[in-house]
Structure 1
Amino acid sequence: MTSVDTFGTITPSLQSQSRGLDWHRRFREDRGRALRVLHLGNIANNAFNNARIQRQHGIDAYVIAYETYHIMASPEWEEATFEGDLGDPFYPDWTKVDLGGYQRPRWFASGPLELCCSMISAEVDGQAGLADGFRRSLDRARQSVSGETATACAIRLGQKIKRRIRRSPAMARDIFMRRVLARDVDPEQKRLVAVWRQGNAPASPPSAADFASYRARLAPLVNLMDRFDVVQAYATDGAWPLLAQRPYFGYEHGTLRAIPFQDDSLGRLTATVFLGADHVFVTNIDCVPAARRLGVPPDRITPLPHAFDDTRLAKFQAANGAIRPPDDCVVFFHPARHDWLDADPSLVKGNDRLIKAFATVSRENDQSRLVMIEWGRDLDRSRELIRSLNLEAKVQWLSPMRKPQLWQTYLSSHAVLDQFVLPSFGGVTFEALALGRRVITNVDFQSAEEFFSEAPPILSASTEDEIAEALRKVIADRDDRRGIGDAGRSWIQRYHSAQRIVELQLEAYRTRIAVEPRTISSAKGIQP
């Protein structure tokens, strides 16, 4: 049974969501193998986390992160234990720290695109030795561009120049097509424009130059995509299956909020990619209306919680049950980055509103403390604001930390404070709820109920006065006698568990995959 929410999207009821796992069991029986899913792109480890929880439920999931090296797009960030300075977070040098023997999973590939495709192809074929050869090549390629050495910087610069040169022929071709020939003479471009015209994007139609960088690197992916039952593409990486005329699922993580409505190359690309998707997973509450406004049909939209493994948090809390908030003061933990001066609401966190609200409340209660992390574009401005309000003695600064330390800090706090501008929330809120912490953040309860089936038990606040009132509620109920933290943990288990996330994806896959067995091609003669 399904329901149509006021977003206009099709939302499976909780009772019907087990159909996804049931369908996958039948799929395995009929075809003699698990569903095979290729995740393309890995911003903020969304693809990695999705693939990991899918594999926990028997799905044969793989990730191609290609030229994405950022520290928070690396498996080590999620799974390894390490200490030390990795250098540039965009090109971390993992050889500088002790990973305790951690090895990246065999189903994850990052580095030069062609090598990634070859490695995953070998893995799918069960050619472990061949895959290991490609994996070693990927390790060498990543190491060559990592760190802050002159050689690494020179290689990165060369790659940037190469990408620009690669776009040039497509740009020249686009100018020619615009000025000499009619746009619809080019069948491929005509098809992309037709996809774009299905929606309501206010920008001009896409040009060849908009897709140039994707088109230039398409070749190694074409055959690989045919070996998977599902291609799930993150952000604009749906351009690859769209160009190859292959079915795909689009995955947004804030991508639809404003970008597809911009009249620039990225806006036109984004709009076309999501309008061309067979189905779209929307992971932000406020982006569901944006998807509808763009023109994605309601039956092709699934509201999907962010990739998240609640079982890891439950195990962590069980192993750290002795960590509790202090008895002699009330601790508020605000781990969000300091970003509050930008005019773009999708970037700002409203840290200034919190600091001012805390100043008011701390004058009323001298035992309150605010803990924050030293990161963000406006960190220095936050420090200045704190000094101007004479709050320095009541504010504690922590260095950026990995997940285990972050979770320990959640457990030692009376409440966790997320962001106060957009009525949306992500990892901070979900992890804090899973650990039984009270959360103060901005949330639209009606939209949250439509997105999740039930709104989470959060202390919602946006303005300075609302934040101050929420802080007072926590101070008045220091020990959480109302049980808000426990209610949050229960909500996560019911509405944001890894199992539910996988079930929602499988239910969407079920509606788009033909019943008849599909032939999965096999590449031959691949060499490392």
Structure 2
Amino acid sequence: MSISYVEVGPESHLNQGDSTRAIEAENARALRLIDDFQRRTGRPLRVLHIGNIANNAYNNARIQRKLGIQADVLCYNYYHIMGCPEWEDGALQEGSSALGQDHFRPDWWATSLKGWKRPRWFVQGPSVLCIEYLRAKNGGWRSTAYLKWLELELTALQDARSGGSKGSLAKYVPRHLRFLLWLSGPGRSWYDNRQPLSLYRIWLGTFVANGVLGRESNTDRFETNWLDRISAAAWLKIARRGPQADAEARSALSALREDVRGLCTGGIRERSSSLARSLTHSFLTLLERVMLKFIPVSETGCVARSMSDPVTRAKEIETLLDEIRSDPAELDGQSLSYREEYVTKHPRPFEDVLLYYDVIQGYAIDGLIPMMNGVKNFCCYEHGTLREIPFENNLTGLICRISFQRAPAVFVTNSDVLPSVERLGLKEDRVFYLPHAFDNHKLRAFRDAHPELSPPTGGPVIFFSPSRHHWKRGNSSWLKGNDVIIRAAAEVARMTRDFKLVFVEWGQEVADSKDLIEELGLSDLVEWIPTLSKRELWRHYCVSHAVVDQFIVPALGGVGFETMALGVRLISAIDEQQTALFFGREPPLLAAGNVAQCAARMREVIQDPLDTRGRGQAASQWMSTFHSAERIVALQCKAYSNLLEGQW
């Protein structure tokens, strides 16, 4: 497959200056889409990113927003620490409590972020809550959006602490969440200084319920007074946005009236603590179920105009289901019984949210969501997804195959998956080779702000390996090959022991690594440090003579990009031919794919500890040219231009 975006080719005939100018000119042409769209439509280009493994969506949206795109992220049902903005940009300290806990349930409220706050364009939590928040946000309902934002935050806090007590810090609940916490849980809560619920809210709910359903009189008839009718009319005028609204309102209000009736029967004094909470919760639930469902999108985007009419769309979905049923893979029993239900029902609730945007970008297998909603302006984003997943005989593999094969645009971010691209039969004009989401300016600013951070000029040479320890069992996409650096160190130690290995103590197989280190007699050369925040990692990169990444996947990852952007030498596995094709020029790292090669690279660093050859500086320059934020957004804009052609 030939490269689809580098117009100047591998550039072996051009010097570095010509290469840089050619790429900058191409970037400028692609980025014109942003200003042209704004000028012609009177608003920014709107992109929704769905999914956020390893913060790829967050990083993409962040750099897109810097360049004028109104990008939002929908990260549903996923709280992993490396899928949270706090991990990327929060001012975390080394040893922070969030870093030392369950990485799938980070407790950001027990961690000092030094005033940093999560941006409101990044929505994370249960899919239903995420959808409700985006509906309110995009509909211009600011108060409702704020309340849903608080509910999302409270849900995340409760999830983080669902494993039980985690010490005194875990008991802290921010002031702005205490009322919702009181309302959401029966009995005692973390916030014990509860106050009686305002009777005004009970009074308001009562009048609205009576206005719609009527109040029971002495003659067993239901009647209303003028205040009931005015309250209900005002509320229903806001809530009614479709033919089903009235029926849904009556059903929800019936439950509300039962709470009112129970409160009156039992007496406020005797039952206020539990029933007041129940009543208020019922009232708020009523508002959410009816009002949120019918909040109008203030302004639809190009996605709405790209969708087929209902009849055509129904035929398209049935055709797709026929394709799914006839998929040649021998799926396991669970996937067979569940596939049509999941494929059709899971994407459906997202439909109304999608209409607001111009482009939908689905990460991993989340391209299924726009595809099954009839969206034509969508992209599938690969971040290791295509290595093995599309060829697995399960539901995930099936969804991955059909999503990427039918996507109008596919972003491939790993050079080693090019064989998978051909195996899936993806059309060349739909495939865009895209560097990983990355903001080189952030790294450059950190480097400029800390000139004091540099490797020691004397003493042992420091090799820092931050990679997760996982090298024996599991999917190759997860393996790091940590044993390669350990065995290579043993080879080097036969000639000199004037070096030190620094490992981060995290991963499934830390114990295996420690056993191997002891077996090879390297314990005195190894230092273990705890899990680090981003900026602590960067500090360790800068004071190391070289950073060692991984040896399984022959492609660059997050550790590699950050290392090179900071001007530090990198030892890692890479396929020189594939990366030259992918980026336009091979990155100047110290390539090593086995023990012998890694040992040779380590000796090279030991012989030139201060990098007199300038390998680190060359890597930083390569990142500025081939992996800059402008380059990444420009390549996405090129794909967006194709999707939006004729729509604006």
What interval of TM-score do these two structures reach, taking the shorter chain for normalisation? 0.7 to 0.9
* Pairing of 1:235-274 with structure 2 (within 5 A): 235-247=364-376, 248-274=378-404
* Pairing of 1:98-109 with structure 2 (within 5 A): 98-109=112-123
* 1:69 maps onto 2:79 in alignment: yes
* CA drift at 1:130: 2.5
The match for 1:136 is: 150
CA distance in 2: counterparts of 1:503 and 1:208, whole angstroms: 42
Relative to structure 1, is the Cα distance of residues 470 and 344 closer, same or farther in structure 2, using a 3 angstrom cutoff?
Answer: same
The match for 1:323 is: 453
CA deviation vs aligned residue, 1:334-364 (integer Å, no higher than 9, x gap): 1111111126432221111110111111231
* Pairing of 1:56-135 with structure 2 (within 5 A): 56-83=66-93, 84-86=96-98, 87-135=101-149
The match for 2:507 is: 376
* CA drift at 1:74: 0.8
CA distance in 2: counterparts of 1:482 and 1:400, whole angstroms: 32
The amino acid of 2:508's aligned partner reads R
CA distance in 2: counterparts of 1:367 and 1:150, whole angstroms: 46
CA deviation vs aligned residue, 1:307-326 (integer Å, no higher than 9, x gap): 00111111111111101111
CA distance in 1: counterparts of 2:611 and 2:123, whole angstroms: 44
The match for 1:511 is: 642
CA deviation vs aligned residue, 1:396-431 (integer Å, no higher than 9, x gap): 111110111100000010001111122112000000
The match for 1:302 is: 432
- Contact 1:192–1:272 (CA under 8 A) maintained in structure 2: no
The match for 1:225 is: 354
* 1:463 maps onto 2:594 in alignment: yes
CA distance in 1: counterparts of 2:409 and 2:434, whole angstroms: 12
* Pairing of 1:480-499 with structure 2 (within 5 A): 480-499=611-630
* Pairing of 1:287-366 with structure 2 (within 5 A): 287-326=417-456, 327-342=458-473, 344-366=475-497
The match for 2:51 is: 41
Number of residue pairs aligned between Structure 1 and Structure 2: 478
Q: Pick one of 258, 273, 278 that aligns with 2:408.
A: 278
Q: Aligned with 2:415: secondary structure?
A: coil
Q: Aligned with 2:73: secondary structure?
A: strand
Q: Aligned with 1:11: secondary structure?
A: coil
* CA drift at 1:215: 3.5
* 1:188 maps onto 2:200 in alignment: no
The match for 1:28 is: 38
- Contact 1:17–1:500 (CA under 8 A) maintained in structure 2: yes
* CA drift at 1:129: 2.5
CA distance in 2: counterparts of 1:142 and 1:35, whole angstroms: 30
The amino acid of 2:424's aligned partner reads L
* 1:50 maps onto 2:60 in alignment: yes
- Contact 1:419–1:425 (CA under 8 A) maintained in structure 2: no
* CA drift at 1:25: 1.2
* 1:212 maps onto 2:341 in alignment: yes
CA distance in 1: counterparts of 2:141 and 2:6, whole angstroms: 39
- Contact 1:17–1:504 (CA under 8 A) maintained in structure 2: yes
CA deviation vs aligned residue, 1:156-203 (integer Å, no higher than 9, x gap): xxxxxxxxxxxxxxxxxxxxxxxxxxxxx9973532443798x9x865
- Contact 2:490–2:520 (CA under 8 A) maintained in structure 1: yes
* CA drift at 1:391: 0.7
* CA drift at 1:281: 0.4
Q: Aligned with 1:10: secondary structure?
A: coil
CA distance in 2: counterparts of 1:438 and 1:261, whole angstroms: 36
The match for 1:145 is: 159
Name which of structure 1's ranges 75-84 and 403-412 shifts more when overlaid on structure 2. Answer: 75-84
RMSD: 2.3
* CA drift at 1:515: 2.7
Relative to structure 1, is the Cα distance of residues 395 and 130 closer, same or farther in structure 2, using a 3 angstrom cutoff?
Answer: same
- Contact 1:285–1:424 (CA under 8 A) maintained in structure 2: yes
- Contact 1:211–1:269 (CA under 8 A) maintained in structure 2: no
The match for 1:406 is: 537
Q: Aligned with 2:366: secondary structure?
A: helix
Relative to structure 1, is the Cα distance of residues 193 and 451 closer, same or farther in structure 2, using a 3 angstrom cutoff?
Answer: farther
Name which of structure 1's ranges 84-93 and 104-113 shifts more when overlaid on structure 2. Answer: 84-93
CA distance in 1: counterparts of 2:150 and 2:428, whole angstroms: 44
CA distance in 1: counterparts of 2:105 and 2:113, whole angstroms: 17
- Contact 1:62–1:120 (CA under 8 A) maintained in structure 2: no
CA distance in 2: counterparts of 1:114 and 1:74, whole angstroms: 19
CA distance in 1: counterparts of 2:65 and 2:122, whole angstroms: 12
Relative to structure 1, is the Cα distance of residues 217 and 430 closer, same or farther in structure 2, using a 3 angstrom cutoff?
Answer: same
* CA drift at 1:125: 3.6
CA distance in 1: counterparts of 2:34 and 2:527, whole angstroms: 49
Give the percent of matched residue pairs that are identical in Structure 1 and Structure 2: 38
* CA drift at 1:276: 1.8
- Contact 2:52–2:75 (CA under 8 A) maintained in structure 1: yes
* 1:396 maps onto 2:531 in alignment: no
* 1:454 maps onto 2:588 in alignment: no
* CA drift at 1:68: 1.0
The gaps in structure 1 that reach 5 residues or longer are 1-6, 156-184, 518-528
- Contact 1:215–1:240 (CA under 8 A) maintained in structure 2: no
- Contact 1:107–1:123 (CA under 8 A) maintained in structure 2: no
- Of structures 1 and 2, the larger Rg is shown by 2
- Contact 1:88–1:148 (CA under 8 A) maintained in structure 2: no
CA distance in 2: counterparts of 1:38 and 1:259, whole angstroms: 24
The gaps in structure 2 that reach 5 residues or longer are 8-22, 167-183, 185-313
Relative to structure 1, is the Cα distance of residues 151 and 221 closer, same or farther in structure 2, using a 3 angstrom cutoff?
Answer: farther
